Homo-oligomer: A and B are copies of this chain.
Amino acid sequence: MQDIDAIDRTILSILSQEARIPMKSLAGRIGLSRSATTERVTRLEKAGVIRGYRADIGQLEEGTIQAFLLVTLKRTPSIGVLDRLAGFSTVRKVSSVSGQLDLVVEVEVGSINALNELRNEVATMDNVEDLTTSIVLRRDIERS
């Protein structure tokens, strides 16, 4: 039961496209009963494979500023830092990476002020050793 089998993968691929689909319809598509499907989804949620369900929001406004925060931690794993980052609605994406850096945080804020405040908040988190901020001047390439 620890494995993610073919059915689970089908479930993940459907839910990653249509997260609000009724369990009954999902069950129909994968050819299982509703209860078995619900059990699988619940298991995937509890196992942390499904972290949650997000609405995919289009660009809100033109006047937004995007930036990368390149974070080096004092020690990994990043206890608490991820939770705190998730609390900021301006944080768009966080990736744990290998190498000198530990986290690449992509943010989208309304003003330079907001960026500075966010930057300060992150920089003063306990476990954060170093923080480099790079404002996106231009998006040169973006593919889907």
- Which chain A residues have a beta carbon within 8 Å of chain B's beta carbons? 4, 12-13, 15-20, 48-60, 66-68, 70, 82, 85-86, 89, 91-101, 103-104, 132-144
Q: Contact: B18 with A97, CB < 8 Å?
A: no
Residues in B neighbouring A136, C-beta threshold 8 A: 95-97, 104
Q: Contact: B139 with A93, CB < 8 Å?
A: yes
Q: Which B residue sits closest to A55, measured CB to CB?
A: B15
Q: Contact: A13 with B89, CB < 8 Å?
A: yes
Q: Which B residue sits closest to A18, measured CB to CB?
A: B53
Rounded to whole Å, the gap between the CB of A80 and the closest CB of chain B is 13
Q: Contact: B82 with A95, CB < 8 Å?
A: no
Inter-chain CA distance A16–B56, complex, in Å, is: 7
A135/B16 contact (C-beta < 8 A), A49-B58, A57-B143, A143-B93 known: no
Given A49-B60, A93-B141: 17 more A-B contacts, CB < 8 Å: A17-B52, A17-B54, A19-B20, A19-B53, A50-B56, A52-B56, A54-B55, A57-B143, A57-B144, A70-B70, A86-B140, A92-B141, A92-B142, A96-B136, A97-B134, A97-B135, A101-B132
